[in-house]
């Protein structure tokens, strides 16, 4: 399957970054996105404990054929606790539940949201292949996996996309996944391409983030690393101004420059920011500016790991050593 070069990550409409907008505000946001020509919507069983899929389903009523509809399973909220469960019976149950919440008869692309390290990935992917053959999903994806895990999965079934975090400040895919997906003809979907708001210049002070904001637990936003990271922002703003675009647009243009198979997946709760983000698809940023962006923000300059120890234990990606 062919994914558009940019999609809308819907997570923040229900989950993770502080207090989400009301359901009606989220619905208005999604309908505005569709009206603006957004054709790739990404949700998951996890987001809002299913509420995000319900929201996306409401927005798509009567408009299902306008988008590539994407969801994920294998990670959910069970009794208030985030749970990773890649057993075939769980994935079958979650796909059926996603179809009901979305109000559709098939999901175009369905990711294994996390590899359950207690379940061989061949078993999880085999279950998704059965669901594909049954017409409930159109294609299989993997999220937050390493190259060895991708190769194990490919031995079972075709993989259409790998969704891993990728941005100027998280370069893990450059340790093999960027090349592996290109060589296999697989889309590399970059989530958090503006570094969870950092490269959009959207975080003035992490101490002011909402109590339940996911970023509070991430080392790069904590005091011992934030001071060093924030010191990069004046030069980052200046570089974006030189390119004649916003900081978020420069971050997205850099991600898109990494290969024709790379798809950017920003998320936002703002219609204005959405329009700003999607304008990056058509930006022509000089190659020397992109190169300088990569030198300014990268493994050698960003302080702190992307995840804390507990969060890191749930993923399977290659990783650079932290600069700080």
- Strands annotated E in the chain: 8-9, 40-42, 68-73, 75-78, 81-84, 107-112, 137-143, 161-165, 187-191, 262-265
Whole-number pLDDT of residue 29:
96
8-215+248-284 CATH:
3.20.20.100
Dig out the tokens for 235 from the structure. 């030069």
Place of tokens 């279950």: 127
Whole-number pLDDT of residue 324:
65
| Residue-by-residue pLDDT tens, the chain, 324 positions | 899 999 999 999 998 888 899 999 999 999 999 999 999 999 999 999 999 999 999 999 999 999 999 999 999 999 889 999 999 999 999 999 999 999 999 999 999 999 999 999 999 999 999 999 999 999 999 999 999 999 999 999 999 999 999 999 999 999 999 999 999 999 999 999 999 999 999 999 999 999 889 999 999 999 999 999 999 999 999 999 999 999 999 999 999 999 999 999 999 999 999 999 999 999 999 999 999 999 999 999 999 999 999 999 999 999 987 766
Picking from 205, 193, 214, the residue whose alpha carbon sits closest to that of residue 278 is: 193
Q: Pairing mode, if any, of strands 8-9 and 75-78?
A: unpaired
Q: Which of 17, 47, 111, 166 is catalytic?
A: 47
Picking from 35, 37, 49, the residue whose alpha carbon sits closest to that of residue 83 is: 49
307 an active-site residue?
Answer: no
pTM for the predicted model, two decimal places: 0.97
Show me where the domains of the chain are located.
8-215+248-284
- SS3 assignment, position 316: coil
Whole-number pLDDT of residue 12:
95
Whole-number pLDDT of residue 158:
98
């Amino acid at each position: 399957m062919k994914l558009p070069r940019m999609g809308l990550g819907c997570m923040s409409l229900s989950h993770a970054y502080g207090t989400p907008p009301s359901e009606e505000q989220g619905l208005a946001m999604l309908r505005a996105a569709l009206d603006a020509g957004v054709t790739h919507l990404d949700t998951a069983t996890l987001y809002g404990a299913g509420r995000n899929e319900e929201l996306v389903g409401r927005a798509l009523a009567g408009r299902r054929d306008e988008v590539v509809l994407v969801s994920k399973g294998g990670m959910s909220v069970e009794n208030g606790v985030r749970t990773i469960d890649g057993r075939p019976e769980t994935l079958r149950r979650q796909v059926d539940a996603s179809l009901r919440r979305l109000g559709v008869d098939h999901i175009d692309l369905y990711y294994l949201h996390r590899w359950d390290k207690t379940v061989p990935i061949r078993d999880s992917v085999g279950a998704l292949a059965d669901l594909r053959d049954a017409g409930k999903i159109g294609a299989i994806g993997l999220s937050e996996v390493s190259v060895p895990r991708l190769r194990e999965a490919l031995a079972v079934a075709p993989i259409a996309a790998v969704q891993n975090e990728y941005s100027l400040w998280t370069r893990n895919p450059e340790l093999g996944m960027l090349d592996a997906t290109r060589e296999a003809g697989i889309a590399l979907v970059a989530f958090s391409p503006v570094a969870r708001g950092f490269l959009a210049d959207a975080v003035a002070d992490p101490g002011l983030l909402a109590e339940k904001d996911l970023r509070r637990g991430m080392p790069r936003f904590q005091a011992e690393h934030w001071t060093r990271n924030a010191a990069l922002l004046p030069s980052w703003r200046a570089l974006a101004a030189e390119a004649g675009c916003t900081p978020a647009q420069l971050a997205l243009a850099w991600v898109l420059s990494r290969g024709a198979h790379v798809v950017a997946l920003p998320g936002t709760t703002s219609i204005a920011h959405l329009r700003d983000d999607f304008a990056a698809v058509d930006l022509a940023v000089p190659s020397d500016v992109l190169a300088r962006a990569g030198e300014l923000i990268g493994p050698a300059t960003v302080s702190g790991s992307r995840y804390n120890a507990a969060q890191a234990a749930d993923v399977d990606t290659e990783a650079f050593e932290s600069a700080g």
